[in-house]
Structure 1
């Protein structure tokens, strides 16, 4: 008996292709600026001192500047080579800001709510008038952050929503 055709999988694949969002087409300048920015981030993960980072960043900028204004074919080749080199130098444990997701201080000791510390409601005069989110960001009306509520953290990507 011949195998049945995979009709359901084909239909599902077509539906998924229609629903999938297409990646934006970036200009060459946007691609180069993203490559430069990501290169600086990778360099920051490898540099152990700010002086070393500044020296290496200057060399990196010189490499980008020497190829400025080249023809389209050479620019495409350099962009591909740069992305390959960036992938080769990717750090296994990239630097994260300590108080951001994935950092060493992120949600280490979140402050207790004032209601837990003072259940009778008698707050001391020097107590802060604002609450702090578990990500250590101060909630103020100016920045629009909610003082309470959940912070969704994707620990795989090390970011929060």
Structure 2
């Protein structure tokens, strides 16, 4: 019985994705920028630090494979060392300061007997708890205008 569970778990597990060194370096650079944005609040200082970070990555561009493996390993260790204890997250996403700040009360509290008014509109809420659309599909707040003439639709 235990062996059957192990076989099922082995089949369900995904194989790790094999990335090229360029892809690993790009992911490391992106994570480093996100970590930097958690530490630096001022935009001008962030741009200066990001420029220095980019120069560090560009300095070792095109090196041999053994050096690249060593640099990636050292970069991941440095990123782990500088990881922010309370990283920045978008305010209206889970963990943010605005997430579920003023959620609407459940209908069961508003109508304890279960007699909901049939003409009461049902609203879909955005992650920041603003009204998105009604049942009819029309926007409850207002539409967003997009100028497709200026959009690159490739």
Q: Could you state the TM-score of these two structures normalised by the residue count of structure 1?
A: 0.66
**Cross-structure match for 2:66:** 73
Which secondary structure does the structure 2 equivalent of 1:139 belong to? strand
In 2, the alpha carbon distance for the partners of 1:122 and 1:21 equals 46
Unaligned stretches of 5+ residues in structure 1? 1-7, 124-129, 148-161
Are 1:51 and 2:47 an aligned pair? no
**Cross-structure match for 1:26:** 19
In 1, the alpha carbon distance for the partners of 2:133 and 2:119 equals 22
Change (3 A) 1:81 1:111: same
Are 1:16 and 2:22 an aligned pair? no
- CA RMSD, 1 decimal: 3.3
Q: Could you state the TM-score of these two structures normalised by the residue count of structure 2?
A: 0.69
Where do residues 73-92 of structure 1 align in structure 2 (5 Å cutoff)? 73-92=66-85
How far does residue 48 in structure 1 lie from its aligned partner after superposition? 2.4
Count of aligned positions: 129
Unaligned stretches of 5+ residues in structure 2? 111-116, 141-154
How far does residue 139 in structure 1 lie from its aligned partner after superposition? 3.4
Q: Deviations over 1:31-69 (max 9, x none)?
A: 111100000010011112111111111100000000101
In 2, the alpha carbon distance for the partners of 1:89 and 1:19 equals 34
